[in-house]
Amino acid sequence: MARPLIVVTGWIPQAGMDVLATAGDVVVSPADDPQRADRLSAAAAIVTLLTDRVDHALLDAAPSLQIVANVAVGHDNIDIAACHARGVHVTNTPGVLTDATADLAMGLILMSTRRLGEGERLVRSGEPWAWSMSMMLGTGVQGRRLGIIGMGGIGTALARRARAFGLSVVYHNRRRVDRAVEDELAAELLDLDDLLATSDIVSLHCPHTDATHHLIDRSALETMKRSAHLVNTARGPIVDEAALVAALAGGTIAGAALDVFEHEPDVHPALRSSDRVVLLPHLGSATVETRDAMATTAARNVVAVLDGGAPLTPVLPPKGDVGVS
Ligand code: DGY
């Protein structure tokens, strides 16, 4: 009997490829592959990256598809309803990138509040500099308030790190988190405006959905303290980037640190030239260990479905829910 065809849309770690090979014939077929259409037409599974759009057009081209296994926890690149309407499973990679992303968010908090990117650029520029009492002063995080929007796994992991750095934690979430977690973190659930108005640092950890698109817009930025910093390691379009540019230029907030962008990989030119913002190229999950784990999680989902079983980490159909996590 012919083995099922598994199409992978770009490079993934060998650990994932090895797992996939146990379930079928695997081809790597990026968007510019001239044989892509043929391959998709026969594909039983497709392993996608967060830069791939999975929409009606792709699903039309892949009539035998049983599963879309996204190698990411976020899945705003996939039309989930369209997949489910055709009986195609969708999976993501929750859990395995929690620590890596929370580490990065903590790093961005420190980079923004302590002006670390600016300092690095100064040294690299070759400009003369000398230590002085007043040079490049940032603000300490101890005793400050961190507001976490989206208190899922990554938000909670960031809260633990932040507590160790002496920050207090408030959060905004669709649901109140377990009392034990709230107690451990001394974390308080606030409505969005209260969180924005009282936090020294606001960090985004919600998915990008219709409800969270431009959640941080001009009005949200104006609600924040003038001394506050915004951190985004979630998805770019949660922030209205033009409004952020204006807020940074006008001193509405003090700084921002972004790992993701509204029109990724394009970055607003005014952000690139601003010293008030730290910019990273979507590195949240970029560790060798994490990418291996993401690839193997996606691959195990493919194996489970092609074996006739249930996916291990399914993305369920949207319920029209408007919450942030
Ligand atoms: C994800 O998995 O959604 C992350 O953005 C990858 O870095």
**Model confidence pLDDT, tens digit, residues 91-144:** 999 999 999 999 999 999 999 999 999 999 999 999 999 999 999 999 999 999
| Spatial strand order in the sheet of 168-172 | 188-189, 168-172, 145-149, 201-204, 229-232, 255-258, 277-279
Do 160 and 222 have their domain in common? Answer: yes
Residues 64 and 193 occupy one common structural domain: no
Per-residue model confidence as pLDDT tens digits over 24-69: 999 999 999 999 999 999 999 999 999 999 999 999 999 999 999 9
Task: Name every protein residue with a CB atom under 6 angstroms from any ligand 1 atom.
Answer: 50, 72-74, 97, 282, 284-285
Write the DSSP assignment of 115-136 as a string of letters.
THHHHHHHHHHT------TTTT
Q: Give 155-195 pLDDT, tens digit per residue.
A: 999 999 999 999 999 999 999 999 999 999 999 999 999 99
Let me know: does 196 contact 147? Beta carbons within 8 Å. yes
Q: By three-state DSSP, how is residue 101 classified?
A: helix
Same-domain check for residues 148 and 267:
yes
Q: Report CA(71)–ligand 1 centroid distance (Å).
A: 8
Based on the fold, state whether residues 40 and 111 are members of the same structural domain. no
Query: Ligand 1, closest atom to CA 92?
Result: 2
Residue 320 lies in a domain: no
291 C-alpha to center of ligand 1: Å? 10
Asked if 48 and 119 sit in the same domain, the reply is no
228 falls within a domain: yes
Do 81 and 126 lie in a common domain?
no
Residue nearest to atom 3 of ligand 1 (CA): 74
Q: Looking at residue 42, which CATH number applies to its domain? A: 3.40.50.720
Output the pLDDT for position 324.
Answer: 52
Instruction: Calculate the CA dihedral of residues 108, 109, 112, 117 and round it to 10 degrees.
Output: -30
Tell which atom from ligand 1 comes closest to the C-alpha of 75: 3
Inside any domain, residue 314: no
Statement: residue 320 has pLDDT above 50 = no
| Index of the ligand 1 atom closest to the CA of residue 97 | 2
Residues 15 and 106 in one domain: no
Q: Specify the residue for token string 């204006």.
A: 246
Print the domain residue range for 124.
98-279
* pLDDT at res. 317: 75
- pLDDT, average across residues 279-293: 98
Both ends of the chain: CA-CA distance in Å? 43
Of 223, 156, 209, give the one whose Cα is nearest residue 185: 156
Q: Is 222 a catalytic residue?
A: no
> For residue 148, how many other CB atoms are within 10 A of its CB?
30
Identify whether 312 is part of a domain: no
Task: Note whether 137 and 39 are same-domain residues.
Answer: no
Q: Is residue 325 part of a domain?
A: no
Domain boundary among 243, 260, 279: 279
Q: How many degrees, rounded to 5, is the angle at CA 18 between CA 13 and CA 22?
A: 150
133 and 151 together in one domain: yes
The count of C-alpha atoms lying within 13 angstroms of the C-alpha of 187, restricted to the half-sphere facing its C-beta, is: 31
Same domain, 62 and 138: no
Among 92, 14, 90, 26, which Cα is nearest to 58's?
Answer: 90
What are the Cα distances from residue 22, in Å, to 17, 41, 257, 283? 9, 21, 41, 30
Å from CA of 22 to ligand 1 middle: 26
Question: Separation of 282 CA from ligand 1 center, angstroms?
Answer: 8
Per-residue pLDDT averaged across 238-257, rounded? 98
Chain mean pLDDT for the chain = 96
Does any domain span residue 237?
yes
Q: Is 235 a catalytic residue?
A: yes
Q: Whose CA is nearest to atom 7 of ligand 1?
A: 285
Residue at 313 is within a domain: no
Q: Is residue 324 a part of any domain in this protein?
A: no
Name which residue sits closest to atom 4 of ligand 1, judged by CA: 72
pTM of whole model > 0.85?
A: yes
Share of the chain above pLDDT 90, in %: 96
Q: Is 213 a catalytic residue?
A: no
For 101, 176, 261, 280, the CA distances from 266, given in Å and listed in that order, are 21, 36, 7, 12
Q: Which amino acid is at 193?
A: D
Residue 103 three-state SS? helix
Same domain, 168 and 275: yes
H/E stretch holding 168: strand 168-172
Domain count within the chain: 2
| Residue 108 and residue 10 share a domain | no
| 79 neighbors 58 (Cβ within 8 angstroms) | no
CB neighbours of 126 closer than 8 A, spacing ≥ 6? Answer: none
Expressed in angstroms and rounded, the spacing between residue 75 Cα and the centre of ligand 1 is: 9
Q: Which of 115, 172, 282, 300 is catalytic?
A: 282
